[in-house]
Structures are given as structure tokens and as C-alpha cells.
Chains A and B, each alone.
Chain A
């Protein structure tokens, strides 16, 4: 019984304990619940964090590889470009070098050729000298021609004068005015007078002058002038121009004769040569003169004639 009692008391005690414990448990429940939640929360966080970290790590690996790949690709590009630029620079430089040489050569060769310029300038100065000399010669020539013309004119005038003064010619018997016996040689006018052939003037001055110009007698009196081409041209021009026949003027009324006729009467001279200068070749000379008078009076003919008479005289 005691046992029972003991058990009973124990049961009671147990009941009390049970209540107590139950009570306590009820009191601790919230706290424990919170603690449990916290533990769960922490654990879960740990798990998620671990997962995220894992993901990050993987992402970094991916990025790392990708970035490396692209950067390397870009770098390769850059190197290529840099290499290309370097190459181009080099080529350009070489091209410039070639062009420089070629252009220098070309310009020196053809455009600003120093030697060509030098030789051109030298040639020019030679040419200038030449031109100057030629012009000097030409001027000299022209001057001579002009002088020659003047001389011819002067001679013609003199000849005309001599022609007019022919009556002052000295004869064998009586010396003329220009042939003074007190001088050793006769005056030059006298010599001229001897050369001039006397013609009876049929017409007055202008016609007579024209005759004189065309007269072949005047040619040998200045032989120096024959060489000039100038005179030849005038001579041919003059001889080629035909002398027109004179226009017959109205006859003067009244008893007068024509002036030419009167003049002829006044100056009519006896044939002096026959009586006073009868050399033994006289006949031939007169014949020659006649021929000359009749013929065209070409220079050649005249020259042959004069040389002929000269030999005969000698």
C-alpha cells in the first residue's frame, strides 16, 4: 500500500510536473518558434547566397572569356591597321622618292635645262653679233648705193653742163677757155668736153636731159658705178620704158620757123672733124660712130668699139 500511496503521490507529482512542464512549454513556445524561424531563415539565406555566388562566378567566367576574345580580336584589327598604315607610309615615302628623282630629272632635262638655257643664251649672243655685223654691212652697202646714186646724178648734171658748154672746146688751132696754154695740163672741164659728143639740140632742156640719161656715152665715164645692182635696175627700168613720140603741137601762126629749127641754124657747125682732125683712122671711126648712132647703143657694142679704136691708135 505504501507502494500504492507512493505511486499515487508520484502520480500526483507527475501531474503537477506535467502541468508545470506544459505550462513552461507553452511559455517558451513563441520564443522557440522565433528561434526556429531565424535558424531556418539563416540557413535558407546561406543556401541562396551560395547559389548566387555560384552564378556570379560562372557569369564572371563567361564575361572574362568573352571580353578577352573581343579585345584580342580588336587588338588584332588594330595591329593590322597599324601595320597597314606603316606600310602605306613606307610606300608613299618610296613613291615620293621616286617621283622626286624623276621630276627633278625631267624638269632639268626638258623644262629648266640649264645647259640648254646656257647654250641658247650663248647662241643668242652669237646671233646678235651676227645680226649686228650684217646690219652694219647692209648699212654700209646702202650708204654706198646712195653715194653712188648721188655721184651719178652729179655726173649727169656735169655732163649736161658740158654738153651745154661744148662750144668752149679747144681746137688744135685755138685753145679753149679751159685749156690755158700757161698750165701744164688742161682743166678737167676740158677733158670732159672732149668726152662729150656734140649733138645739135633739137628740143629744149627737159628732153635733152632725158636723152643724156639714156645716152650710152655716159656709161664708161664712171666705171665704178657699173657693179652696183641698184644702177642696173634703174638702167633697165629706164631702157625698158619706151619713149613716147612727142605730141604734135599746133603750128604757130605767122612767119616764124620752129624754135628747134632756128636753134639748129644758129648753132650749126661745119663738120669740124673732117677738116681739123683728120687722123688716118678717121674713116673707120666715123663709120663706127655712125653704127653706134644707128644701133641700140648697147654697152657691149660700145665697149668692143672703143677697145677696137684704142688698138688701132696704138
Chain B
């Protein structure tokens, strides 16, 4: 009788703990409850429960703790300060899989907020324990561990170096081969986070054969997996030419171009980012992408999307065009210029406009033919307007100015240059007049047109300092025309004529 009573007391206590932990875990699921719970001192209550004898209580306490840490970085700091992490890490090695999952969740929630918190996780040996979890059989545990590692590696190079040093990369690559889609996704995203910091980290990822695995998965129908895969590939290829060449050699390219028509917009964006990262290194790599038709697809993609999704595409066009004259011509032939003009006029964001202006400058700076293509798309007045607009950001003004200058220095398409004579400031006008002074001596039709359209009159009205380059260009233009015409269009000529009339004495 007495024994039963004693045991009953224990059972009651256990039930009460269980109930408490469960209701706390339920309450933490809602963000608005968190503050009240924190004020009620939930952290110090949960801490002993983490060491409870009953595994399910431990596990639920860990879940509650993870949810708390997930909500705000103050709470995550509190978790670190309460010294809960070493316990978690210790028990991560010994407990069952449900507990491991919950503990990995706590570590993830802590590490997610800031590099310092992640550093705290690393310092208490969390990374090694998580890597051990990656060797677990259960996919859920692996997923949670990979996720936590990804959050740790995301912050900076030294943290991801510590993840790599713990030997996580080969295991993550193995996770890519698992049948579970969620695990694959998270492994790919973690690899992407690891390789994004430095070329050395990217090399360690590549050395484990990750590229081949990732390249295989580009054909996977799952959109979220494809997002992560392309993001990982672009993070790998962004560092150096050799890495980009390795990515290209994995033969992803014609297939990846097809993903530009994926229904998921982030897949499309990541594919474009990948192309941008590959293309920026050398002309040969750009040539590979252009030859497999990636350029046309990206240009079509620019037409389909809006906002920041456009940015990688725009920059990719700029990179390709910057490499060589024929590649810039290829951009023009693939109808890239009208698309960029569309971006320049449609997008409200200044940084996107600046990127478009930069790309246009890269396309138009090679030869007169290129500049003509830019000029006929009516982009020069647009760029000028952006440059003159006081509300444009400084970067946009600078970019549109350099683009305008570099295009103008090659442009010989006079009809497009003529409007600029009227409303350009003197530093731009200099280049415009310079182009006129180069073309007019050799082209009689253009001279005629220049007079009849009123360009000559405008040139005479320009007030240039004597001896400045602008004045020299004006003189060069004037010397192409008969003196009478020049005088006729000079301002104040009618007064001179009238004066002569007054002085004239009929014989």
C-alpha cells in the first residue's frame, strides 16, 4: 500500500512536468506569448528540465527552448548565457533521434541571429556534435543538423571554416544523394552557404565532388531544390576562373538554360545569377554561355520578371558585353538593348537603373556600330535625363554619366546626337561637339543636314572659353562651312547688317 502511494507521488510529479513542458512548448509557438513567458522566467525553468530523466520531457523542453530562441536574438543570447548549450551538445551525442532533432533545432535557432551567437555555438563544440548527427541514419536528424550547420556557416568565413574543419562537407555531399527531398534541399543550401565566403572554402567543397552531384540535380523537377542547387553552383563559381570552369565542365549549361522558363521565379533568378557569376570571369566562359543560347534566354527572362529579379540578368549582359567587341555585338543581336531600355524606363529602383545604365555603357563603348545600336534605341536622351535628374542617386548619376560618355565617344550617328546639342551640360556637350567635328569634314550630306536642322546655329550660340577643347571643336566645325553661312548663323548678325545699312551711302 505504502509503496503504491510513493510511486503515485512520483508519477504525479512526472505528469505535472510533462504537462508544464508541453503547454510551454505550445505557448512558444505564438510570437506574441514570448515576451510574457520571458518575463515569467521561462528560461530558468526550462534549464533543469533539459536535464530531466524522462527523454520526452527533455525533448519537449528543447523544442520549447528552440522556439524561444528562434523568436528573438535577446532570447537566443539568454540561452547562451544560461549555459544550456554545453548540455545540449553533450546530450546530442547520446540521446535518441527525436531529442537530436530538437537539440539541432535549438542550435540552429541560436546560431541564426548573429555571428557572435554562432561563435558561441562553435565554441561549445556544437559543430562537431552536429557533424556526428549528419552520420545518423534518420533523415530528419540529418536535415536538422545540416540546417543548423548552414546557419552557422552563413555568417562569415571563419565560422564556415570551422564547419569545414569539422569535416561536414563530405557528409553534406553524401546527404545530396539521399532520397528525401527536404534533406537534399537543405544540404545544397548549406553547401552554398559554406562556399560563398572564400575561394578556399569553395575549393574544399568542390574537392569532395559536390559539383557533379549538384549538376545532376539541376534536372530535378522540385523547384525549391533547384533554387538551392543553382544558388550553390553560383556561389562556387563566383570566386575564380578555375572554379567557374569546373562548373561549366559539369555540362550543366544547355539544361540550365531550360530552367530559365521554370514556373518558380527564384529558380529563374538563381540560374541567371549562376550565369552572371560564370560569365564575369573570362571572355571564353562568356562565349560558352552565349554559344549555348543562354543570352537569348536571359534576355527573354528580363522581359518576364520585375524588380530585383531582373538585376542579375542586367549585370550579366553588362559583363558579357564588357569582354569583347564581338560579344557585345552578340548582345545587340540577341535584342538585348531594347530589353535594357525597358528595364531603364520601367524600374523604379535606382540601383537597378544604375546597373542598366552601366550595362548599356558596356555595350556601346566598343565601336561606332555598337554605339549606333544604343543610339537608335533612343537611349542617349534617357541616360542624359537620368544624369541631369537631381533626384537620381549619386551612383546612378555617375553610372549614367560614364555610360553616356563612353557611348558618345564612339557614336557617329548624327541624328541621335543632335537632340543632345540642345540640352546637354557643357561636360557632355564637349563630347557631342567633338563627334560632330570628326564626322562633318568628311560627309557633305551631313553638313547640309546640320545646317538645315539648326545644329550650326546652336553650335554658334555655345559660349566656350577660348583655348578650351570645346572651342577647338567648334572651330573645327566652323571651318567645314563657308564663312558667310557661319556668320549668318552667328548670334547678333542682324544688328551688324542693320548697322551696315545705316552706314551705306548710295552713290
Residues of chain A touching chain B, judged by Cβ–Cβ distance below 8 Å, are 117, 120-121, 124-125, 127-132, 135-136, 138-139, 142, 146
Contact = CB atoms under 8 A, between A and B. Distances in A.
A135 B295 contact: no
Nearest to A140: B261
B296 A128 contact: yes
Contact of B330 (A124, A129, A130, A142): A124
Contacts of A146: 263
A128 B333 contact: yes
Contacts of B263: 142, 146
Interface string B481-499: 0000000000000000000
A78 B326 CA distance: 55
A146 B261 CA distance: 14
A58 to B, nearest CB: 74
A124 B258 contact: no
A138 B254 CA distance: 13
B90 interface: no
A146 B330 CA distance: 34
Contacts of B326: 117, 120-121
Interface string B321-360: 0000010011001100000000000000000000000000
> Taking chain A's interface residues, is the majority helix, strand, or loop, or is none over half, making it mixed?
helix
Interface of B: 257-258, 260-261, 263, 290-293, 295-297, 300, 326, 329-330, 333-334
Contacts of A117: 326, 329
Given A121-B326, A142-B263, A146-B263, A128 B258 contact: no
Contact of A135 (B261, B290, B333): B261
Nearest to A128: B296
A124 B291 CA distance: 7
A138 B291 contact: no
B261 A138 contact: yes
A127 B290 CA distance: 10
Contact of B295 (A128, A130, A138): A128
Contacts of B334: 124-125, 128
A175 B425 CA distance: 87
A131 B333 contact: no
26 contacts: A117-B326, A120-B326, A121-B326, A121-B329, A121-B330, A124-B291, A124-B334, A127-B296, A128-B334, A129-B296, A131-B292, A131-B293, A131-B296, A131-B297, A132-B293, A132-B296, A135-B257, A135-B258, A135-B261, A135-B297, A135-B300, A136-B261, A138-B261, A139-B261, A142-B261, A142-B263
Contacts of A120: 326
A124 B333 CA distance: 8
Contacts of A139: 261
A138 B258 contact: yes
A131 B260 CA distance: 11
Contacts of B295: 128
Nearest to B293: A131
Contacts of B291: 124, 127
A197 to B, nearest CB: 32
Given A131-B297, A136-B261, 18 more contacts: A120-B326, A124-B290, A124-B333, A124-B334, A125-B334, A127-B293, A127-B296, A128-B333, A131-B257, A131-B292, A131-B296, A132-B297, A132-B300, A135-B297, A138-B261, A139-B261, A142-B263, A146-B263
